[in-house]
Structure 1
Amino acid sequence: MLRHVREHDLEIIRGWRNHPKVRAASLTTHEIGPDEHARWWAALSGDPSRQVLVYEHAGVPSGVVTFAGLGPGVTTAAWGFYLDIDGLESSGELLRAWIGLERAAIEHAFGPLGLVRLRGEVLEDNESVRRLHRRFGFAEIGSGTRAVDGVDRNVITIQLSREDNA
């Protein structure tokens, strides 16, 4: 289940985002401090083109889904996600939650958001995420190079269309 972020979620989701495994798979890998996180949230909460939702797995907050590029008449938007790695690994629920989050994000994109296409970016060497996206029907439609911590990294663009998801 996806729900809107509540004020008490903010510090929890910052902790999830700062997990070393999440940072290693991200396009920005530095640890995010409280001030930077507060600025991010202040900018985001007033921006109708972006949405951040908390994913609950078995009734427990377990991850974050982000959508960007939203707006009236928009048919394609970008998405990303991260999970509560420590909590889900300790409960043995990481894979089930990961699959549940992906399913919920796709349903939200093609349902309430009314999108026709959903795009994302994945580091080329993040094979486990690429494999999961392919399992859900995402196609790898392009690639490029992006500087991550001053090092050029290959990034794959993925896309899923509503008609391919039906």
Structure 2
Amino acid sequence: MSRARMVGGAVLRRVRDDDLPVMRHWRNHPKVRAASFTGHEISEDEHARWWAAVRADASRQVLIYDHAGARAGVVTYSELGGDSASWGFYLDLDGLERSGAVLRAWVGLERAAIDHAFGPLGLTTLRGEVLADNESVRRLHRRFGFAEVATYRMPVDGVPREVVAVQLTKEEQG
């Protein structure tokens, strides 16, 4: 994707250098860390190493989600290269809460991410994982047609946590 792609009024676009500090700030929000598979605060050095690895890896793509003309979230795809991939996301919770746009942005991001997966990325299956106690994300995924296909326990910051695997196929998307 060389340019921004408009999806239903929302934009997914490539990350620019000036996005990196704000991405790390959003990722370090306590609510985002609590819903993530690594809950520690990400240092500037760790973030730079992660970004260097992502940029060098053709099987991964990270995009900025713009909502109502402003940066509002991050969408990640991994395991690209075939007809299926995994995805994840996080939002600018502070900015969206101040503007009262969290739910609209969250729904817009999910729709844009699915459309990008089954459009430009050419996927037929989109997978993800969510902590089992993150009911709000599970509900949103179900709203968009994701099926909960497995549950398992895995260590999250050294503590066993219940995880739900979700999946959406191009044929099933709503």
Q: TM-score, normalised by structure 1?
A: 0.98
Secondary structure of the corresponding residue to residue 107 of structure 1: helix
2:91 counterpart of 1:98:
no
Structure 2 stretches lacking a partner, 5+ long: 1-10
Q: Which runs of 4+ in 1 moved over 4 A?
A: none
Secondary structure of the corresponding residue to residue 163 of structure 1: coil
User: Which of 12, 22, 40 is residue 12 of structure 1 equivalent to?
Assistant: 22
Task: Give the % identical residues.
Answer: 67
- CA distance in structure 2 between the aligned counterparts of 1:150 and 1:123, rounded to whole angstroms: 14
2:122 counterpart of 1:114:
yes
> What residue number does 2:136 align with?
128
Structure 1 stretches lacking a partner, 5+ long: none
The RMSD of aligned alpha carbons is: 0.6
> What residue number does 1:87 align with?
95
- CA distance in structure 2 between the aligned counterparts of 1:105 and 1:117, rounded to whole angstroms: 13
> What residue number does 2:36 align with?
26
> What residue number does 1:47 align with?
57
Kindly provide the amino acid, as one letter, of the partner of residue 18 in structure 2: H
Query: How many residue pairs are counted as aligned between the two chains?
Result: 164
2:165 counterpart of 1:157:
yes
The within-5 A match list for 1:52-91 is 52-71=62-81, 74-91=82-99
Q: TM-score, normalised by structure 2?
A: 0.93
The offset of 1:150, in angstroms, is: 1.4
- CA distance in structure 2 between the aligned counterparts of 1:18 and 1:66, rounded to whole angstroms: 16
2:48 counterpart of 1:38:
yes
